[in-house]
Amino acid sequence: MRALLQRVLEAKVVVDGETTGEIEKGILVFLGLGKEDNLEKGKKLIDKILKYRFFDDEQGKMGWNVSQAGGGLLLVSQFTLMAQTQKGLRPDFGPAMPPTEAKALYEQLVEYAKLKYKNIGILITDHNVNETLSICDRAYLLIDGKIFKHGTAEELAEDEQVRRLYLGRNFELKRKDYLHDEASLSLGPSAMDERDAASNS
């Protein structure tokens, strides 16, 4: 697992002239997942990033983490960080986690990061519209590099054009809550009864 951190005064992702993710002062994180990575490693990395003293405190020293500095966190999935470039003239992406597994793990880390720190922006780029809508707050559908439709997951799921071209007439939006599912396996029925009121954002 590799993370490239950049302290920024502002950062945003722009697609076809429209901003799809944005923070002001904070940390921009590019995250790459390898074949040997897992959820526990990812949680430890997220925790470290959030605690990392990256910002100047009142004495002008790097003594504050992103929360103490009132900053934001923008996460961007970037498998190319796992490339091996020591040999030859072509990057080797063999160490990167396969796309399906990486997507599942990344989504769990997104949910964990949201739970740990609320001032956060998450950008996911994926061709699987069904899966992406199940976890995102807003989505942008592109055709030939231009935004075709955008809105909340619920708005896109109800859009007739989107259903006809992408989702299918029988599509049903099903929200995912990986952390809630994980807790149900480890905490047992009695503990889960107390958590039923919590819903995925």
Name the residue type at position 161. Answer: Q
Give just the sign of the alpha carbon dihedral 125, 131, 132, 135: negative
DSSP state of 71: -
The gap from C-alpha 142 to its chain's centroid, in whole angstroms, comes to 19
SS3 80: helix
- Distance between CA 33 and CA 2 in Å, rounded? 7
- 106 by Cβ neighbours in 10 Å (0-12 / 13-18 / 19+) ranks as buried
Question: Among 38, 107, 123, which Cα is nearest to 73's?
Answer: 123
Annotated catalytic residues are 80
**Are 162 and 168 a contacting pair, CB within 8 Å?**
no
**Are 113 and 73 a contacting pair, CB within 8 Å?**
yes
- The region, left, alpha or beta by phi > 0 then psi within -120 to 50, assigned to residue 168 is left
